[in-house]
Amino acid sequence: MIVNVTAQLPTFEFEELEIIEDPNRPGYYSYIFNFCDNAFSVEDPRFMVVSDLEKKPMQLTGVFHSDNCYGAVEKIRANDPDSIRAELVFYEDSNQIDNFEEKIDKMTAEVDKLRQELKITMDTNYPTHQAYIDATKVKSDELWDARKQLQHLNAQYYEMMSFYHPEE
């Protein structure tokens, strides 16, 4: 049974073998690791090597059989070599991209709406200065939360896109 890794259950494990600092480039490391799948044969696994400074997408091509481990190496920058690790990426298919685009559009509309509401709140006459401050703070906090959600959605979207269209 061959399973596309983007739809598989988390039976995929990473085993760190060694992290070697590049003697000619301080802060650059070779991360040497095995990836093992205990349940399925996996086709074209996608994963991310991450550190405290960067994320590097990786995709291997071919069929990797169950109950076997395969070695991989990735060069990555890091301040702390202990922060380097590999993570499996679970992106189901291009429908998920469409779903993220729809979520981003909705959240962008929400941010625009909250900006307008904040502007109206700031232009409204309140009986006291404290009432003005309180109303403005509530709307500002709502806008801040919505913008953080939008930022998070955009980050996830572009992370997915780097796998689906790495050359762009």
Q: What is the chain's pLDDT, residue by residue, as a tens digit (168 residues)? A: 333 334 444 467 788 889 999 999 999 999 998 888 766 666 677 788 889 988 888 877 777 777 778 888 899 999 999 999 988 776 555 556 677 788 899 999 999 999 999 999 999 999 999 999 999 999 999 999 999 999 988 887 877 776 555 444
Residues 44 and 115 in one domain: no
- Closest CA relative to residue 115, chosen from 93, 87, 86, 147: 147
Residues 100 and 149 in one domain: yes
Pair type for strands 55-59 and 68-77 = unpaired
Point out the domain boundary residue: 39, 64, 88: 88
Residues 69 and 117 in one domain: no
Q: Which domain holds residue 109?
A: 94-164
Point out the domain boundary residue: 35, 54, 88: 88
- Kindly state the DSSP code that residue 58 receives in the 8-state scheme: E
Looking up tokens 């109303």, which residue turns up?
Answer: 135
Point out the domain boundary residue: 67, 88, 109: 88
Structural domain count, the chain: 2
Residues 83 and 114 in one domain: no
Q: Are 93 and 39 in contact (CB under 8 A)?
A: no
Q: What is the reported pLDDT for 11?
A: 64
Query: Domain holding 19: CATH number?
Result: 2.60.40.1620
Q: What is the reported pLDDT for 164?
A: 54
Residues 103 and 75 in one domain: no
H or E element: which one contains 107? Answer: helix 94-123
Residues 31 and 83 in one domain: yes
Residues 27 and 74 in one domain: yes
Angle (CA) 18 63 95, round 5°:
100
pTM above 0.75, yes or no: no
